Amino acid sequence: MSRFLDPSPVDLAMVKVEQLAEHPDANATIGMVLHLSGAVPDLAGLREHLTARLDALPCLTHMLTGDGPSARWTPAVPDMGRHVLAQHISEGPAALEEAVRLRLREPWPQDAPTWRMVLLHGHVPDEFALLYLAHHAVQDGANIVTVMETLFGPQLRREEFSVLTRDVPSTARPSLRQVARSTVNLLRHARRHGLWQSAAHPLSSRRHLLWVQAPSDSLRTAARAGAAGTNDVYLSALTHAISQWARDAWPRAARAGLPVMVPVNLRTPDEVAAPGNRLFLMRIDLPGGPMTVARRLARTRALTPVLKSAGHKTVLRAAITRLPRRLLQSLVDVSTVPGRLTVCASNLVMRQRLHYGEAAVHRIDPVMFCPPGVPLAVVAMTYGDTTSVCFRIDTALPGADGLPERWRRALADLNATAPPVSGDTPASASRAPAGRVTPVVRSLVTWLAQRSTGAAARRR
């Protein structure tokens, strides 16, 4: 019997959204590009290096088999001849980006774990790249950070990996008061918005793949000036970029609120490198419309504490690990209907310095996926002195390939402005929830409340 949680409806949803894709650009593949300085290594040696570390990485040695209640994590021994490859590419960064685009379109085998690593070389003298890709059903972003730290970082205890939830024990139960607070938040963001449904520009499965880099210190400087966190800065610059683009290109997204789905990491130290997703896609309505980016940051920071709340994460953790399967499946289904899908924005930090032999990793570019029905998905990766942001954008959005540069300019503007006035809280933060509450959300709230009440009674 597997020692891991069974595949959840969240994992299975990653498979199903890919089946809806009309083009392989919308495949459910995520990953990272590690840029290393040094001589191109021997492929056989790289395969041996990975093989020696497989025992610590169950997400590399298990497959998702079956569907629905019969889905299981099935052990499988990777064939390094199939999983670890090498490719000589033409000179220049454009050749590297094109190689990544083509690899992202490759289908996954049905009889092997869904990951691969490709040694890419030839694009820059005395450098090479390691492209790591994985199916999102088996690995989430936090898991990929752990995989890279295990393969190319120092030896770590399980609680020392960069992307883990340390303030929510895997067995924690939410209090009734916290369930009530989280309920208000869930209800507020359960409504359809229809922002990205357009007869003139129907969404497609074709995607831009674009990166933009910025000094990590520029996010920290803007965060200190605005009494905010670096994630607040990242989200504010993204919302600013989208709002400016939308004024002419997509007016319905230029209004006061911009719904954004943010994955809340719920992976605990005892689940290091376990297969499957340990996240909850949480919607927050960020301040849209015309305003300065400094004012936007002030309003954003008032909305994001819930993303870091240990109490709220305890409720979300209970939702993905303890909800009856049928109810969790209904919750996933309701949240992925076209009228509710929207921008996705993730933020990762790699705290360990990575290397392979004598070659040091000097930059990491994340690789995001953007499923059908999602207009754009963005992920930021902070590693050392550089924060690299990957944009996957539906090509149906007119002129949206300029969003990365708009994000960079918004960040530059934040660093050039004075700190915003404190206490600027958006009215939407205190407004009572409007619109019809879905039966699924009502059932979720009732179930969590009953479980919390029962737990409290047992403690007494």
Region of 248 please: left (phi>0), alpha (psi -120 to 50) or beta. Answer: alpha
d(CA 347, CA 403): 17
Which candidate, 326, 315, 307, places its Cα nearest to that of 452?
Answer: 315
Which tokens is 351 given? Answer: 């705290």
Q: What is the pLDDT of residue 439?
A: 55
Q: State the pairing for strand pair 355-356/72-75.
A: unpaired
Average pLDDT, integer, range 195-215: 96
The counts of H helices and E strands in the chain are: 14, 14
For residue 158, the 8-state DSSP code is G
Q: What is the pLDDT of residue 246?
A: 96
d(CA 133, CA 144): 9
Name beta bridge partners: 343. Answer: 260
Q: What is the pLDDT of residue 445?
A: 52
Distances (CA, A) of 96 to 130, 226, 404: 11, 37, 18
The string over 138-155, giving b where at least 16 C-beta atoms fall within 10 Å of a residue's C-beta and e elsewhere, is bbbbbbbbbbbbbbbbee
Q: What is the pLDDT of residue 239?
A: 98
Region of 347 please: left (phi>0), alpha (psi -120 to 50) or beta. Answer: beta
Q: State the pairing for strand pair 127-135/207-215.
A: unpaired
Q: What is the pLDDT of residue 4?
A: 86
Q: What is the pLDDT of residues 281-332, one digit of tens each?
A: 999 999 999 999 999 999 999 999 999 999 999 998 988 888 888 888 888 8
Average pLDDT over the chain, rounded to whole?
A: 89
Place of tokens 């290091």: 272
Q: What is the pLDDT of residue 440?
A: 52
d(CA 335, CA 379): 20
d(CA 203, CA 338): 10
Most confident of 183-187, 270-274, 337-341, 429-433: 270-274
Write down the pTM of the prediction. 0.90
Q: What is the pLDDT of residues 246-288, one digit of tens each?
A: 999 999 998 879 999 999 999 999 899 999 999 999 999 999 9
Using DSSP's 3-state secondary structure scheme, residue 367 falls into strand
Place of tokens 């685009």: 101
Indicate the length of the chain as a whole number: 460
Tally the C-alpha atoms within 13 A of residue 121's C-alpha that lie toward its C-beta. Answer: 15
Q: What is the pLDDT of residue 186?
A: 74
Give the largest Cα separation in the chain, rounded: 69
Weakest mean pLDDT among 26-30, 117-121, 452-456:
452-456
- Rg value, the chain, Cα: 22
Handedness of CA 94, 95, 100, 106 (dihedral sign): positive
CB atoms within 10 A of CB 44: 11
Distances (CA, A) of 118 to 36, 84, 390: 13, 6, 19
- Which residues, at least 6 apart from 412, have a Cβ–Cβ distance to it below 8 Å? 218
CB atoms within 10 A of CB 43: 14
Asked whether the beta carbons of 173 and 318 are under 8 A apart, the reply is: yes
Which tokens is 17 given? Answer: 């959204």
Which candidate, 11, 94, 75, places its Cα nearest to that of 329?
Answer: 11
Q: What is the pLDDT of residues 86-115, one digit of tens each?
A: 999 999 999 999 999 999 999 999 999 999
Place of tokens 């290393």: 36
Which tokens is 254 given? Answer: 């230029």
Which tokens is 329 given? Answer: 């499946």
- Which residues, at least 6 apart from 120, have a Cβ–Cβ distance to it below 8 Å? 86, 87, 89, 96, 99, 128, 129, 130, 131
Q: What is the pLDDT of residue 226?
A: 94
Which candidate, 410, 203, 424, 444, places its Cα nearest to that of 330?
Answer: 444
Residues 94/95/97/100 CA torsion (nearest 10 deg): 170
Task: Please state the separation of Cα 288 from the chain's center in Å.
Answer: 21
